[in-house]
Amino acid sequence: MTLTARRVGGAPVILRPLRGRDRREWEALRVANVEWLRPWEATSPEPLATTMPFRQLVRHFDHEASEGRLQPFVIETEGRLVGQMHLFGIAWGSLRSACAGYWVAESFAGQGIVPFALAAACDHAFLVLGLHRVEVNIRPENTASLRVVEKLGFHEEGLRRRYLHIDGQWRDHRSFALTTEDLGRKSLVELWNHSQET
């Protein structure tokens, strides 16, 4: 599934599945941003863990999406792949919830792309999938991501101690969430665009 949304004052942001033909561009983007992403990205506590080869990663994303556990997207703007946005840990039944995780290339940071992409992912979660809640967990030191959830009106729910293994250690995270009641069945993309116009 591809989501395209227009943002005020910028090129459209497209969220779409990662494809096999993205390999060179995706790998080059990851290599170019390895130091930029190191303080924020999850790592394995297993000392000998290896990363998946690209084609296996694409197959894994596709399989998890078909099972309803993951909604994986790349972020694209101006015809370029610039990051990723995932809805993961999707739970159905009485919970109907997901977590959102994302990254963007350093050269595209601070351009309003991530808030817009997160708003589009939330619209997809609430208005298409029928989920009730989206959660984002952020390291206390990650001021840029904290600003993203603040801009979009996520509510802080507390501190998760030693929540995720990142850069070789278990790290604390601040937890934020948004529910359908917070939006009143409105589009978060439309609310975000309106806030940029005023």
CATH of the domain at 76: 3.40.630.30
Contact 82, 22 (CB under 8 A): no
pLDDT of 87 higher than 90:
yes
pLDDT band for 28, please (50, 70, 90 cuts): very high
| Host domain of residue 16 | 3-197
pLDDT of 50 higher than 80:
no
The amino acid at 60: H
Contact 72, 84 (CB under 8 A): yes
Chain centroid to CA 182: 19
pLDDT score of 53: 86
Instruction: Output the CA torsion 162→165→167→170 (10° steps).
Output: 30
pLDDT of 45 higher than 70:
yes
- H, E, C per residue of 112-150: CHHHHHHHHHHHHHHHHHCCCEEEEEECCCCHHHHHHHH
1 or 105, greater pLDDT: 105
pLDDT band for 68, please (50, 70, 90 cuts): very high
Contact 125, 111 (CB under 8 A): no
pLDDT score of 7: 66
pLDDT score of 8: 61
Domain count, the chain: 1
pLDDT of 172 higher than 90:
yes
Of 84, 119, 87, 122, the C-alpha closest to 104 is 84
**Helices (DSSP H) in the chain: which residue ranges?**
23-32, 34-37, 54-66, 113-123, 143-151, 180-183, 188-197
pLDDT band for 86, please (50, 70, 90 cuts): very high
pLDDT score of 196: 74
Q: Lowest mean pLDDT: which of 3-12, 110-119, 137-146?
A: 3-12
For 116-137, what is each residue's pLDDT tens digit? 999 999 999 999 999 999 999 9
pTM of the model: 0.92
Mean residue pLDDT across the chain:
91
Q: Which two tokens stand for residue 122?
A: 């939330």
Region 93-114: mean pLDDT is 95
